[in-house]
Chains A and B, each alone.
Chain A
Amino acid sequence: MQMKPTRMKQGLAIAVLALASSAALAGLVQDQPVIVTLNADGSGSANGSMTTARFSKNDVEFIGCGVRRIDDGAGGVILFAFCQAADAVNVQGFCTTDNPNLIASIDGQDDFSFITFSWNAAGECRSIGNSTQSFYIPKK
Chain B
Amino acid sequence: MRTLITLSVLQTIGIAVLVVHALREEPHAVSDVRPAQSPASAPAPVEAPRIDEARLRAILREELAQEHNRPVAESLPAAPSPAPPHNPSAAELQQRDLVAQQIEAYRAVGMITDAQMQELQADIAKLDAVSRKQMLSKLTRALNTGDIKGRL
Say yes or no: A95 contacts B140, CB within 8 Å.
Answer: yes
Measured CB to CB, the closest approach of chain B to A140, in angstroms, equals 30
Q: Is B141's CB within 8 Å of the partner chain A? A: yes
Contacts of B125 in A (CB 8 A): 68, 70-73, 78
Q: Is A112's CB within 8 Å of the partner chain B? A: no
Within 8 A of A (CB), among B98-152: 121-122, 125-126, 132-133, 136-137, 139-141, 143-146, 149, 151-152
A82 with B152, Cβ < 8 A, contacts A70-B122, A71-B125, A92-B146 known: yes
Say yes or no: B152 contacts A123, CB within 8 Å.
Answer: no
Partner of A122 from the list B126, B137, B152 (CB cut-off 8 Å) is B137
Contacts of A98 in B (CB 8 A): 133
Measured CB to CB, the closest approach of chain A to B149, in angstroms, equals 8
A124 with B152, Cβ < 8 A, contacts A42-B144, A71-B125, A73-B126 known: no
Within 8 A of B (CB), among A17-64: 38, 42, 44
Say yes or no: A92 contacts B143, CB within 8 Å.
Answer: yes
Q: Is A119's CB within 8 Å of the partner chain B? A: yes
Q: Is A94's CB within 8 Å of the partner chain B? A: yes
Within 8 A of B (CB), among A61-120: 66, 68, 70-74, 78, 80, 82, 84, 92-96, 98, 119
Contacts from B to A (Cβ < 8 Å): 121-122, 125-126, 132-133, 136-137, 139-141, 143-146, 149, 151-152
Name the 4 nearest CB pairs between A and B, nearest first: A123-B140, A70-B125, A78-B125, A82-B152
